[in-house]
Structure 1
């Protein structure tokens, strides 16, 4: 199968994160098995989703070391978007392939899968690995399950290429992503009897304003890294809900917030600033009005930042193969930070552009897939030296 054939196959599976990805994973598993390549699947707790890890051994049968080609199989929803074509059918137009996930990031996966027969035919002295994950789009949930399994069985790798859409340019750093959910519990009362209640929305608003103040401090005072498109740590509140009626003091308010930290900035320190404000300022005031008031903050999904070393072999190899020596750092997160945290040096490089990801009429240029194909061929050939 060609990259185009594989892309048609992969996009046809509606692997929106709310859905199962098992049909896609099992299709890939079976295709690899027909070529003599065994895969291990690592399931979610509900067993409705799975990661896939497959090793193409070196010519001498060695399965340790080598390079991982990593991609996530889930995609974001198409709900409410103005698609001009069927998002789950690849449509070719104006030198590009349109469809959900073509750029983010089934184009990379399709290219890697199409090249498996060629990879197997090469006299490689090192193995190549394929790592496909679930639920990256909702907080990099699947990859840690896979990495824990690989660690438990002693699987080693020398480097990883995460094929997120970068225009086939090498990205050496990205921010960490940390999600939080806050539940403010006050006391309901009729709005004409305000002093008898404890207004959860108002106290939530105070905390949201404090989060904004912390964000402004980072914007004004840093630390900065000008290689990033957004060169400072950011904090934003992105969802909120509360109240039951116009004439009722709200008993509860819930909101979700995130911060995206520069590499080197510890997420725990940021979380502690929010918690300190809750404990020192908000709760004492709330409990003057209602002694059982509380604020619960739970940690959601998170993914660590990436900061690749220029001295690592995978960085040097990727730069040599692409002839790209610019330093690029991005604000969005990927699974590369997780691989690095697991001791596998990683970079990000894949076909397509992040600017069209998650949008209606997502596409990948055919020329980008062709560039990716050349890159992966050279990467595999470099293992033959």
Structure 2
């Protein structure tokens, strides 16, 4: 007799197992409890499971579950971690599944632990003994921070699927292209002193003013010289997200920090963007030797470009009843694509609920997602 939980129970158990990823050690959590649950369920379904530890992580693991032999087949991928939650802004516990207004609320319902529960539910009704091509499940670590789980899998695995689906929330619309992400910190170190004699110091805020002026020129250059009309925002964006400097009106500011975010189009390498930033600031750096430091805040994410006209895109469009689209946010797709497989991002729920207080997934997605997963698995692994 099967001990697999029903769909609501599997959602409940996954949400009750905190798996927050954070660059700050005090907020970061191991994802091992989620990995253990998934390993138990997929093992019962007949999968061979491995749970390799991810290097350079705080006790993070991937799950690689495989059913069937040989090369090719289908990879269903997703991440086991969540973002931190806003204390006091949730109307219920983030780690308790709450049903209200035909929605399931909880941290990870939409983005995206719930996807694995839906895979398990789809597999219950499939003749797994009849698989002609292998099905692989990747449950990765640290997507919300470094993407080290997906990067390690792409580097180390011997799995060679023909096709891949990454189950991020896309409202069940296939996504074949998205932008990347680069986050940089710029620190200007000046010389503090009494405000009554500015010449005796170096005001870091004034130097940062010059820095921002150059970055605005770079922002304009990016918007005027790079374009992909498939995107709703068809150019690379730059955002100044954080700035801090100084401590008193009557002191010359000795230090000023700026954090910025750049979203490159497919075909733009992160390393090239980093060089652009340095080149645009070179003249100021020469005028104020040793005062300007540019660093990467956290590992960036490459952009992703699949093929809107590929056989796989056309199959998924037909089975989902939705036309393939592009999005502005980043996923693990560029690393999964390194396996040589045709890759799409497609999953239940809306990205509008991701990273929000009271995250939820609408129950209207449950049956269509399960049916679509069955069709995709049958198409690739059984037919």
**C-alpha separation in 2, matches of 1:256 and 1:223:** 23
Counterpart for residue 372 of structure 2: 375
Counterpart for residue 262 of structure 1: 265
TM-score (structure 2 length as normaliser): 0.89
Counterpart for residue 54 of structure 1: 65
CA contact (8 A) 2:170 2:346 kept: yes
Q: CA deviation at 1:297?
A: 2.6
Q: CA deviation at 1:47?
A: 4.5
Task: Please show how residues 229-240 of structure 1 align to structure 2 within 5 Å.
Answer: 229-240=232-243
Q: CA deviation at 1:84?
A: 2.1
CA contact (8 A) 1:122 1:384 kept: no
The DSSP-based 3-state class of the residue aligned with 1:192 is: coil
Q: CA deviation at 1:120?
A: 5.8
CA contact (8 A) 1:222 1:233 kept: no
| 2:210 is aligned with 1:206 | yes
Counterpart for residue 362 of structure 1: 359
Q: CA deviation at 1:119?
A: 4.5
Q: CA deviation at 1:300?
A: 2.7
Residue 38 of structure 1, aligned match among 45, 48, 73:
48
Counterpart for residue 164 of structure 1: 168
**C-alpha separation in 2, matches of 1:82 and 1:5:** 25
Task: Please show how residues 178-257 of structure 1 align to structure 2 within 5 Å.
Answer: 178-219=182-223, 221-257=224-260
The DSSP-based 3-state class of the residue aligned with 1:78 is: coil
Alignment length, in residue pairs? 371
- Going from structure 1 to structure 2, the CA distance change for 1:298 and 1:14 (only over 3 Å counts) comes to same
- Going from structure 1 to structure 2, the CA distance change for 1:47 and 1:360 (only over 3 Å counts) comes to closer
The DSSP-based 3-state class of the residue aligned with 2:62 is: strand
Q: CA deviation at 1:237?
A: 2.0
**C-alpha separation in 2, matches of 1:67 and 1:31:** 19
Counterpart for residue 124 of structure 1: 131
- Going from structure 1 to structure 2, the CA distance change for 1:37 and 1:166 (only over 3 Å counts) comes to same
- Going from structure 1 to structure 2, the CA distance change for 1:191 and 1:320 (only over 3 Å counts) comes to same
Residue 92 of structure 2, aligned match among 85, 92, 110:
85
CA contact (8 A) 2:81 2:142 kept: yes
**C-alpha separation in 1, matches of 2:294 and 2:272:** 18
Runs (5+) with no aligned partner, structure 1: none
- Going from structure 1 to structure 2, the CA distance change for 1:311 and 1:355 (only over 3 Å counts) comes to same
Q: CA deviation at 1:157?
A: 1.3
**C-alpha separation in 2, matches of 1:120 and 1:40:** 23
